[in-house]
Structure 1
Amino acid sequence: MNNDNKQTNLLNQHNHIQQLFEHPVRLLAPMEGLSDPLMRQILTQIAADLGRPYDWSVSEFIRVTQHVLPAHVFYKYVPELHHDAKTESGTPIHVQLLGSEAQLMAECAAFACELGAPAIDINFGCPAKTVNNHRGGSVLLDEPEVMYEIISAARKAVPAHIPVSAKIRLGYTDTSKMDDIRGAIADSGADWLTIHARTKTQGYKPPAYWDKIEAFNKLKIPVIANGEIWTAEQAQSCMQQAGTSHLMLGRGAVTRPDLIARVDGSKSINDLVDSSMTDTKTLTWQALIPHQIKFLEGQAKNDIVLVGRYKQWLGMLTKGYSEAQVLWESIKREKNKATIITALQTSAQP
């Protein structure tokens, strides 16, 4: 490729990224064992129905270890690849990869794009011990040079028009390497960066240190803030302290599936939200019931797995809905899916 073509591609990519971030973006986070395809389908549909769809969602990480993964593995984690890489509501799904071998990660990223991935995200944030012990996820925050190698290799392997992003934490055991991490990202060619505002050691324990994200705004790429956003008020505080208008919503969006509409339905500290979203839109328990039933009627290995997954969700919903707590007490030992659906329908009655 000659220099003129290279410059043209870079300019086109820059313009594409600018268009993606022309307005504050709202993303549904990748959550291992939680935001699987079924949960993505439900949550993105709710957001779309409330008039504030997610700009995109990121898949659970796909672990890259010894060889280029076959197509069926990508389709297992991201079945949306069969449908233009979008959920039924039209929300794009970006493919997230996790691993430590730069060339292998690059080859898997390129193959994911051949299968239809609209963007590649690289996971440097997973705090799971099993993953970290196998040199994946947040443990690589202690090796910024390896982060650089992985991102830059993926960026070179992926077609120029397809974005490559990274998701990180503030550090592994502490924040002492933040400057080195920022430098690695700056030189890597990443198109944007998502930051969970805690270290691996801090896990998911409150608080999140949103103010520490601000230092990454020195990068010449968009920065997305993530971590401990359960309410619209916390979203506003996060944007103010982090100095970015872009948010990734995780467990808060599972607990209150209308969180995205609440965030963009409340008045932004910097008038960052579209002026048409002036009224906070909420999802009542009654309106949420059909979505819960659809979840219980979704695809899974068997009903036992499906009921277990639903109970996991219902347990989280108890933090957002008092009705969920009542339902939980009545079905927490129930294993029959039909009985649970009946209890759900009954809970909708005044």
Structure 2
Amino acid sequence: MRIILAPMEGLVDSPIRESLTQVGGIDRCVTEFIRVTHGMLPPRIFYKYAPELHNRCLTRTGVPVAVQLLGSDTDQMALHGARAAELGAPQIDINFGCPAKTVNKHKGGAVLLREPELLHRITSAIRQAVPSTIPVTAKMRLGYEDRSMGIACGQALEAAGAAEIVIHARSKVDGYKPPAYWEDVARVREAVATQVIANGDIWTVDDYWRCRTVSGCDDVMIGRGLISRPDLAVQIKASQSGQVLPPMSWPEAVGLVKNYGRALQGHLEDKFVIGRIKQWLNYLRRGFVEAEAVWPQARKLRELAALFACLESAVLKPRAA
């Protein structure tokens, strides 16, 4: 089984990939999507989203990073797939799952699930443009308005040569509201020969095993669950052999967040670093009671040093008898 870190736009950047892969258990990462429109993007854009290209597209711990593209212009998507491969991408992933209104309005992401034939053309064009040794993969949802298009879209991607299909177990309209429809992922998996990877609502080790049972997928992609509990992949891997590891401590989590902030300081203004850290802290509230306790104070802070100090000072008060 494999665990893949999901490409969460606006959050899972290179520094957070480094932080999470250092914890362990992650077999592959995927970049935030590179938006493809009508003109050829310069190499610096690829390096911006995937600085790992300078290191054979590996994180410092050796985890491979796929480059993800988003767009609907078949020719341009093919050209950009070829350029990513030339720059060293070991895998080209296509985003057919983003539910953001702005993205969908400009014919990108999940809105393309209305047109399985367009999914096929885009994927086929990239497959033909990229060397055969480099896998072309896709991330999709179960549909746009509802979940009725999952099989048709999966079959279109299979016919186009997709090596793997990650399926977020909801439609675009479902957004991120529970539940995740893992049983519908199973229906797509049974309808295609291509490897299917389940995604959506894996927050705990028990969630992984339920997802595996219902979807039939050994491999999973996890986004929010790994952001809220950075050791989740390690815990899932340990559970394969019946082990139960001690959970990550709050001081260890704070260390990760601080290292992440310092890495961001190299190329972002402090106000943006603070914003990214608060994003992560907000997710950590689900995995750590200390994060929940410190959140009301931390969310108001506007200075980086004060935010770090606030995180370090988080101490649980004993409950009243």
> TM-score w.r.t. structure 2 length?
0.94
Residue identity in the other structure for 1:134? H
Give 5+ residue unaligned stretches, structure 2: none
Q: CA deviation at 1:328?
A: 1.8
CA, structure 1 residues 349+227, in 2 after alignment: closer, same or farther (shift >3 Å)?
closer
Tell me the equivalent position of 1:164.
136
Q: CA deviation at 1:292?
A: 1.4
Q: Distance in 2 between matches of 1:224 and 1:31?
A: 16
Assess if the C-alpha contact under 8 Å between 1:213 and 1:242 holds in 2. yes
Q: Distance in 2 between matches of 1:208 and 1:120?
A: 26
SS of match in other structure, 1:179: helix
Residue identity in the other structure for 1:29? A
Q: Distance in 2 between matches of 1:104 and 1:285?
A: 45
Tell me the equivalent position of 1:253.
226
Tell me the equivalent position of 2:9.
32
Identity level (%): 44
Assess if the C-alpha contact under 8 Å between 1:25 and 1:55 holds in 2. yes
C-alpha RMSD of matched pairs (Å):
1.6
Assess if the C-alpha contact under 8 Å between 1:258 and 1:281 holds in 2. no
> TM-score w.r.t. structure 1 length?
0.86
Tell me the equivalent position of 1:347.
314
Q: Distance in 2 between matches of 1:327 and 1:175?
A: 39
CA, structure 1 residues 249+179, in 2 after alignment: closer, same or farther (shift >3 Å)?
closer
Question: What are the Cα deviations for residues 103-148 of structure 1, in whole angstroms up to 9, with x where unaligned?
Answer: 2101100100111101000010000011101111000100000000
Q: Distance in 1 between matches of 2:154 and 2:70?
A: 19
Tell me the equivalent position of 1:111.
83
SS of match in other structure, 1:347: coil
Alignment of structure 1 residues 172-191 onto 2, 5 Å: 172-191=144-163
Matched, 1:291 2:256: yes
Pick from 8, 12, 22 the counterpart of residue 45 of structure 1.
Answer: 22
Q: Structure 1 segments of 4 or more deviating over 6 A?
A: none
Alignment of structure 1 residues 199-238 onto 2, 5 Å: 199-217=171-189, 218-238=191-211
Tell me the equivalent position of 1:244.
217
SS of match in other structure, 1:91: coil
Q: CA deviation at 1:348?
A: 7.0
Question: What are the Cα deviations for residues 160-183 of structure 1, in whole angstroms up to 9, with x where unaligned?
Answer: 100000110000001222332132
Assess if the C-alpha contact under 8 Å between 1:286 and 1:348 holds in 2. no
Pick from 295, 311, 323 the counterpart of residue 290 of structure 2.
Answer: 323
Assess if the C-alpha contact under 8 Å between 2:238 and 2:245 holds in 1. yes
Q: CA deviation at 1:85?
A: 0.7
Alignment of structure 1 residues 268-283 onto 2, 5 Å: 273=240, 275=241, 278-283=243-248
Assess if the C-alpha contact under 8 Å between 2:197 and 2:220 holds in 1. yes
Q: Distance in 2 between matches of 1:234 and 1:349?
A: 27
Q: CA deviation at 1:265?
A: 2.2
